[in-house]
Amino acid sequence: MRNGIFIVAVLAALIGLAAWNYVSLPVQTAWTLEQRQLLDSLALSALPELPEDPSNAVADSEPAAQFGHSLYFDTRLSGNGSVSCASCHKPELMFTDGLQLAVGVDVGPRHTPSLVGIAYSPWFYWDGRKDSQWAQALAPLEASHEHDTDRLQIARLIVTDEKYQYLYESIFGPLPELPQNPESATPLGNEQQQAAWAGLSSAQQQDVNRVFSNLGKAIAAYQRKLIPGRTRFDDYVDGLLDSNATASEHLNPAEVAGLALFIGDAQCITCHNGPLLTNNEFHNTGVLAISGQLPPMGRYDGIRFARKDPFNCVGDFSDANRSECIELRFARDTNDLVGAQKTPTLRNIAETAPYMHGGQIATLYEVIEHYNEAPISMLSHNEAKPLELRPVQLQQVEDFLRTLSAPLAAEDKWLTPPIER
């Protein structure tokens, strides 16, 4: 009799527990086949080999990566001698800076994106105005709010620094003879720099541009080393191959529930898909304009800039055949790209706050709230629709996003300044 009461009590408790679970937190127990396929497509095991970059002949050269490593951390590549790529893309912050808007020689108009897995991206910058890593690397050097120097001064540094001269020539062949004057010249600078550039012969301009673009190629080779590492999420998905039991060691129930929302009701996977959790496309997600700025045109302008860029895939300094420049030649440029920004990777997202192209959103939870509300876009239209998720679910999505962190799979030596040799 006593046993009977005990059993009834236990049963009642179990039913109660089950009912409570059902009402407040549906527990993800088993995945359907279709869900399993989605999970597999997001895991690091699905990451292909690094894509080739036909526009950069030294993309996979080890000496070029070493040279690029030195250039990346070298503050002499700046007008005031204190800014390097690493000032904003800091290894200890997953190659971001923790700031809302980037600060180089001056405050810039955009938030610094992470460089994790950057070599997988076909387009660079929030608006995709560069079509190769090496062409991208040239722009901050000459931007007045970033490095604030110019191609002639940088070429001269390479020619006059013994170590750089040696490294450069062993990779790219003999350095050209550079003009003694002027001190500073670029077609993109202030009036004086532009006039100085116009004063060079076209052969001299070509020489300077050649050296400049080669430095971009070395920096790109370095950045190809920044490969994401294996996270708890990846262990979870691979564990599913054996049995759900092994997998459940890696993620807790709230994280699994967040994952189910991510690939389901929250619709994140529409844009954040593949092993880097980005479709490499451009979308308008209704993020507020950056304070003091007009809403940006985004990819609509970005693709037009990329086409006109003398350092693009079809330009004089590219190592590709025209036929290999598929992305550039066939890129969409339609009106729906007004206000569209590049979908960022979500790998290591917990370490790269604040978020969005202007660092407009401070925390991960607020990003998910933003998607839940899907505000009307100030320019063109917000592609995301309101989600009507409850706060507990928003928290679950955040819990899941936090499982996407792990140390990079790059050798340690690439994550600190090079040791002087």
State the minimum distance, in angstroms, from the CB of residue 277 to ligand HEC: 8
Q: Are 156 and 178 in contact (CB under 8 A)?
A: yes
Question: Is the CB of residue 396 less than 8 Å from the CB of residue 258?
Answer: yes
Nearest to 344 by CA among 90, 43, 123: 123
In the window 269-288, what residues touch ligand HEC (CB under 6 A)? 270-272, 283, 285, 287
Question: Which CB atom, from 196 or from 290, has the smaller least distance to ligand HEC?
Answer: 290
Of 146 and 235, which CB lies nearer to ligand HEC in the complex structure?
146
Binds ligand HEC by CB under 6 A, chosen from 88, 94, 221, 226? 88
Among 91, 104, 275, 315, binds ligand HEC (CB under 6 A): 104
> What's the rounded Cα separation, in Å, for the pair 421 and 418?
8
Q: Exactly one of 155, 211, 320, 384 binds ligand HEC (CB under 6 A); which one? A: 384
Q: Is the dihedral of CA 203, 147, 70, 68 positive or negative?
A: negative
Q: Interface with ligand HEC includes 395 (CB under 6 A)?
A: no
Q: Which of 55, 56, 87, 205 binds ligand HEC (CB under 6 A)?
A: 87
Measure the CA angle with vertex 56, ends 54 and 61; round to 5°.
110
* Shortest distance (Å) from residue 278 CB to ligand HEC: 8
Other CB atoms within 10 Å distance of the CB of residue 44: 22
Number of amino acids touching ligand HEC (CB under 6 A): 53
Convert 269-307 to b/e letters by CB count within 10 Å (16 or more is b): bebbbbbbbbebbbbbbbbeebeeeebbbbbbbbbeebe
Q: For residue 354, say if its preceding peptide bond is cis, omega within 30 degrees of 0.
A: yes
Q: Which of residues 176-235 bind ligand HEC (CB under 6 A)?
A: 219
Residue reference for tokens 């790109």: 220
Task: Find the shortest distance in angstroms from Cβ 145 to ligand HEC.
Answer: 7
User: Which of 31, 67, 125, 197 is the binder for ligand HEC (CB under 6 A)?
Assistant: 125
120 binds ligand HEC (CB under 6 A): no
Say how many C-beta atoms besides its own lie within 10 A of residue 205's C-beta. 18
115 binds ligand HEC (CB under 6 A): yes
233: tokens are 């999420």
CB of 354 to ligand HEC, least distance (A): 7
Give me the residues that bind ligand HEC (CB under 6 A), please.
83, 85, 87-89, 102-104, 108, 110-113, 115, 118, 121, 124-126, 133, 136-137, 140-141, 146-147, 219, 266-268, 270-272, 283, 285, 287, 341-344, 346, 349, 352, 355-357, 364, 367-368, 371, 383-384, 397
